[in-house]
Amino acid sequence: MALKGNLRDFSVTQLLNLINVAQKTGTLVVEGPSEQIWVSFREGKLAFARNGQEDGSLATVLYRAKKISAAQFRAIQERAANMSDKELGLLLINANYITQQDIINSLQAYFLGVVNRLFTWVEGLFHFENDMMPPDDKITVRISLENIIIEGSRRMREWEQLQDEIPSLEVAMKFTDRPGTNIRNVNLSVEEWRVVSYINPKNTIRQVAKATNKSDLEIRKVVYGLLQAGLIELVRPEGVVQPATPAGRPALPVTNKEDQKSLINRIISRIRSI
Amino acid sequence: MQTVKMVVTGPFSAGKTEFIRSVSEIDVVSTERKISSEAEKVKDQTTVAMDFGRITVDDSLVLYLFGTPGQRRFDFMWEILSEGMLGFIVMVDSTRPETFREARNILETFRAYAPTPYVVAANKQDFKEAWDLDDMRIALRLDAKVKLLPCVATEKETVKGVLLELLYSILEEMDKNEAK
């Protein structure tokens, strides 16, 4: 089924969170006002990215990353224009022009640049194509999304959106027990680590903000990043007593346990018969 | 005569009125008004106070279904409607991701009103543009234990399915409380 919408309503950060948590494989296509971006994922990890306006070929990426000279770039264009990225990569490695790591680092930086560009878009139609991957002759990488999401959340400025995402500071945080998630692998700033050190179902976000000397906006930004990276979840603070049904009114007109069950079973039978 | 009630809530245009209409034995008492705001013109009319449906269970028991107004400016009605409910259903339009955040906030608000069982109904699952349930669960940040059910509010059978799942949850909750 469809995974489509507009970035205006469902942000890039939320999309990456969804792809990360669901460990999706496929390509996210985003159409901006004047350009189109394709970002491919394999099992929830960034694999490839391309901006429709740009020449994302390996030769161009390496030239822009200053891994090959202008003369080498021209020579490749003249003599190896029909070569696939994989073939060209092997040729350059075998000729000792560059290392495999140079290629991976350059492509990673280029792909991250494309994704970071997406974070600046406030509007754009998107759709996710399950199992659609770049052609086999393209070189893919494997980058965890947590750091990308955290970085994207740091850029978030909209107070209203943050307030919508985290309406109350009276909730607590706890680490998710999702397999494969390890907060130690995420690049956090010192300030963010300070917040992490207070994560405990007993502490409300407001208490953590106070302890780390953060404003409402600052704490929301950090919490939002951790939340979207799938590292934490919001929970009711431990030890807070839930109110009984409002105004003390019982939800059921009978008090005896067996009578209550019988009443629910009568409703079940009736609804089945409608 | 004993009466019990369930509440159907959710964002604007999620399908709450249709949901109640599909199973109510009376014509739904609906307080709908023409929509004046351009931004909210997804449909022509909206519920401003509440919808009200009825299912007579037997000679001595009646189930009332209350639908809340979806627009935030009528949220003062929510707490009143939630008083004494058996449980609640959060309706979400599977084709409109722009309403997911609002659905999440409504769910949290109702959970704060009363710790009664609830289920989430993903409406319009018959539409091509409908989001997958697994994706919706993540976007709505629903715990794996929360029932997220496919629904087509205009089809009686799926509406019955949602109501029954909520009732099963109520029974499970009773058993859990008994075991404590």
Helix (H, G, I), strand (E, B) or coil at A228: helix
Over the stretch B114-171, which tens digit does the pLDDT of each residue have?
Answer: 789 999 999 999 999 999 999 999 999 898 899 999 999 999 999 999 999 999 999 9
Clarify whether residues A163 and A64 are in a common domain.
no
Domain contains A251: no
ipTM of the complex: 0.86
Domain with A139 in it: 4-143
Domain contains A82: yes
Clarify whether residues A134 and A105 are in a common domain.
yes
- Supply the pLDDT for residue A251: 62
Query: Hey, what domains does chain B have and what are their CATH numbers?
Result: 2-179 (3.40.50.300)
Clarify whether residues A16 and A81 are in a common domain.
yes
Of A143, A167, A191, the residue that ends a domain is A143
Domain contains A250: no
Chain centre distance of CA A148: 7
Contact B84 A251 (CB under 8 A): yes
Calculate what percentage of chain A has a pLDDT beyond 70: 90
Of A118, A143, A168, the residue that ends a domain is A143
Clarify whether residues A24 and A120 are in a common domain.
yes
Which of A62-76, A117-131, B149-163: highest mean pLDDT?
A: B149-163
Over the stretch A160-185, which tens digit does the pLDDT of each residue have?
Answer: 677 777 888 888 998 887 766 677 77
Over the stretch A246-265, which tens digit does the pLDDT of each residue have?
Answer: 443 446 666 778 888 899 99
3-state helix, strand, coil in chain B (%, to 5): 40, 30, 35
Contact B132 A266 (CB under 8 A): no
Domain contains A262: no
Across A69-87, average pLDDT:
89
Clarify whether residues A178 and A124 are in a common domain.
no
**Residues in CB range of B16: below 8 A, 6 or more apart:** B8, B9, B10, B47, B51, B67, B68, B70, B91, B153
Contact A251 B167 (CB under 8 A): no
Domain contains A179: yes
Clarify whether residues A69 and A94 are in a common domain.
yes
Domain contains A192: yes
Of A14, A167, A271, the CB nearest to B163: A271
Say which amino acid occupies B152.
V
Contact A261 B171 (CB under 8 A): yes
- Distance from C-alpha of A148 to C-alpha of A48, rounded to nearest angstrom: 14
Which residues of A make CB contacts under 8 Å with B? 1-6, 8-10, 14, 17-18, 21-22, 164-165, 167-168, 233-234, 242-243, 245-247, 249-254, 257, 260-261, 263-268, 270-272, 274
For position A198, which CATH number holds? Answer: 1.10.10.10
A272 to chain B nearest CA, in Å?
A: 7
String of DSSP letters for B88-147: EEEEEETT-GGGHHHHHHHHHHHHHH----EEEEEE-TTSTTPBPHHHHHHHTT--TTS-
Contact B4 A233 (CB under 8 A): no
* Total structural domains within chain A: 2
Of B61, B98, B174, the CB nearest to A260: B174
Clarify whether residues A138 and A164 are in a common domain.
no
Angle at the Cα of A214 from the Cα atoms of A210 and A217, rounded to 5 degrees: 120
**Residues in chain A within 8 Å Cβ distance of B178:** 257
Domain contains A28: yes
Contact B101 A257 (CB under 8 A): no
Of A122, A148, A153, which is closest to residue A49 (Cα–Cα)? A148
Domain contains A61: yes
Over the stretch B86-103, which tens digit does the pLDDT of each residue have?
Answer: 999 999 999 999 999 889
